[in-house]
Copies of this chain bind each other. A is one copy, B any other.
Amino acid sequence: MAGKLNLDKLDYQIIQHMMEDAEISYADLGKKLFVSGGTIHVRIKKLQEMGIVKGTRLAVDTHKLGYTVIAFIGIYLEKSSLYDSVAKDLMKIPEVVRLNYTTGNYSMFVEIACKDINQLRFVLHDQMQKIKGIERTETLISLEESLNRNIQVATTEG
Chain A residues within CB distance 8 Å of chain B: 2, 5, 15, 18-23, 50-68, 70, 72, 74, 87, 90-91, 94-106, 109, 113, 138-153
How far does the Cβ of A68 sit from chain B's closest Cβ, in whole Å?
8
Contact yes or no, B60 A140, CB < 8 A: no
- This protein's copies in its complex: 2
With A55-B22, A152-B94 as given contacts, are A5 and B66 in contact (CB-CB < 8 Å)?
A: yes
Contact yes or no, B50 A64, CB < 8 A: yes
How far does the Cβ of A31 sit from chain B's closest Cβ, in whole Å?
18
How far does the Cβ of A59 sit from chain B's closest Cβ, in whole Å?
4
Q: Complex formed: what's the CA distance from A131 to B23 in Å?
A: 37
Contact yes or no, B54 A138, CB < 8 A: no
Residue from B22, B65, B101 within 8 A of A56 (CB atoms): B22
Contact yes or no, B67 A147, CB < 8 A: no
Chain B residue with Cβ nearest A47 = B60
- Tell me which residues across on chain B come within 8 A of A87, comparing CB atoms: 146-147
Chain B residue with Cβ nearest A152 = B94
